[in-house]
């Protein structure tokens, strides 16, 4: 897979202005296609962008509306904080907003304790998710991203962090938290009003989310997402002293050079089929767009596959639509069936009996 990605980049190079990042990537959120790559597989310290994994693990494994009490685990927290106190009560959802908007390391340790019982157990969950979604060059030691006293530290790559963000953005709750600009919560102690540290989300309408990170060893790390004219992207930079500007430059260049072509219109969707589904309606859930350059436009093609299923019910997945750019599969979506109500055929005698309400 890695060899294929690098081959595509060599064949279809995308020129960007000079970047300050040691590693950087732009990935299409809809299909995982890489539109810009710079040292994407180099393993580096990732600092607080770790908290993207912390958030999605919490969302998947815990009840976010559960109220938790801050315990003695808070005494182990240091660095950036939301300044919660021993004995204070919040929900896990509140803590996630503090984690993502203000990068609260104190929120991270409380989350880890209440979701998994300990930081070590929570890190195991993080690594299980990383393995499951294909983050092959990533390892997590903790939920906050700080380097440990023994020298151990969370490491990943620009590619893996883009892959993680693509996965997390498929979750509606994550999208809401990741894209929040502000959040206010009242606890049994006080009222908090948090504003996102990601200044891009406050100043640019196309930015849909983001997470900042910094330690002395990792330096500045940043993950953002952005959307414009049906192009949905994630940008990751590692060790980048000029990260906010570099992200803007990458978005602007991609949006300028690529156009989202609508290859499937959900309202007019049709597919040639045999007699299996002839009495019913096949549909897709949404319009399907593929970002391409002018040179790539003519290389798009569509293939359909319908399953031989004679026992389907309304809403079943009954096939797939695949979009290729040349020989590369760039998008695959499910085809569903809408079972039409069939008019009951009655004999004249049955109609007569119903008429007289027999």
DSSP letter, residue 273: -
Q: Partners of 322 in the beta sheet? A: 303, 332
Tokens of 263: 């290859």
Answer yes or no: are the C-beta atoms of 162 and 126 closer than 8 Å.
Answer: no
DSSP 51-91: HHHHHHHHHHHS-TT-EEE--GGGGG--SS-----TT-EEE
Annotated active-site positions, please? 48, 51, 103
Residue 267 sits at φ, ψ, to 5 deg, of -80, -20
183: left (phi over 0), alpha (psi -120 to 50) or beta: beta
CA separation for the pair 286, 267 (Å, rounded): 9
Length of the chain: 358
Nearest-5° angle of CA 75, CA 180, CA 235? 95
Tokens of 345: 């055929």
Which of these, 54, 47, 35, 55, lies nearest to 175 by C-alpha position?
Answer: 55
Question: To which H or E segment does residue 209 belong?
Answer: strand 207-215
Which of these, 41, 43, 34, 42, lies nearest to 10 by C-alpha position?
Answer: 34
């Amino acid at each position: 897979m890695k060899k294929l990605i690098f081959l595509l980049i060599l064949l279809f190079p995308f020129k960007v202005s000079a970047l300050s990042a040691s590693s950087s990537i732009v990935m299409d959120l809809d299909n995982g296609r890489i539109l810009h790559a710079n040292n994407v597989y180099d393993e580096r310290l990732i600092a607080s962008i770790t908290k993207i994994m912390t958030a999605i693990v919490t969302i998947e494994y815990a009840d976010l509306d559960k109220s938790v009490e801050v315990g003695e685990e808070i005494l182990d927290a240091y660095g950036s904080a939301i300044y919660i106190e021993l004995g204070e009560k919040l929900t896990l959802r509140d803590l996630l907003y503090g984690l993502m908007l203000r990068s609260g390391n104190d929120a991270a340790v409380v989350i880890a304790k209440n979701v998994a019982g300990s930081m070590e157990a929570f890190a195991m969950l993080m690594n299980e998710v990383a393995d499951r979604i294909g983050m092959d060059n990533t390892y997590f030691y903790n939920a906050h991203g700080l380097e440990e006293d023994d020298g151990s530290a969370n490491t990943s790559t620009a590619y893996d962090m883009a892959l993680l963000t693509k996965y997390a953005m498929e979750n509606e709750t994550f999208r809401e938290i990741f894209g929040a600009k502000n959040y206010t919560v009242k606890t049994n102690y006080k009222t908090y009003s948090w504003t996102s540290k990601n200044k891009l989300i406050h100043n640019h309408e196309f930015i849909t989310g983001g997470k900042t990170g910094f330690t002395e060893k990792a330096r500045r790390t940043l993950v953002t997402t952005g959307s414009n004219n049906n192009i949905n992207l994630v940008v990751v930079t590692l060790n980048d002293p000029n990260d906010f500007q570099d992200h803007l430059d990458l978005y602007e260049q991609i949006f300028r050079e690529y156009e989202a072509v609508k290859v499937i219109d959900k309202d007019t969707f049709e597919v040639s089929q045999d007699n299996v589904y002839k009495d019913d309606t096949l549909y897709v859930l949404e319009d399907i767009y593929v970002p391409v350059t002018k040179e790539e436009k003519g290389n798009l093609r569509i293939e359909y596959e319908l399953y031989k299923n004679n026992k389907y019910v309304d809403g079943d997945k009954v096939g797939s639509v695949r979009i290729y750019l040349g020989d590369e599969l760039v998008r695959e979506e499910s085809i569903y069936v809408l079972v039409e109500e069939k008019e009951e055929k009655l004999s004249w005698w049955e109609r007569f009996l119903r008429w007289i309400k027999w």
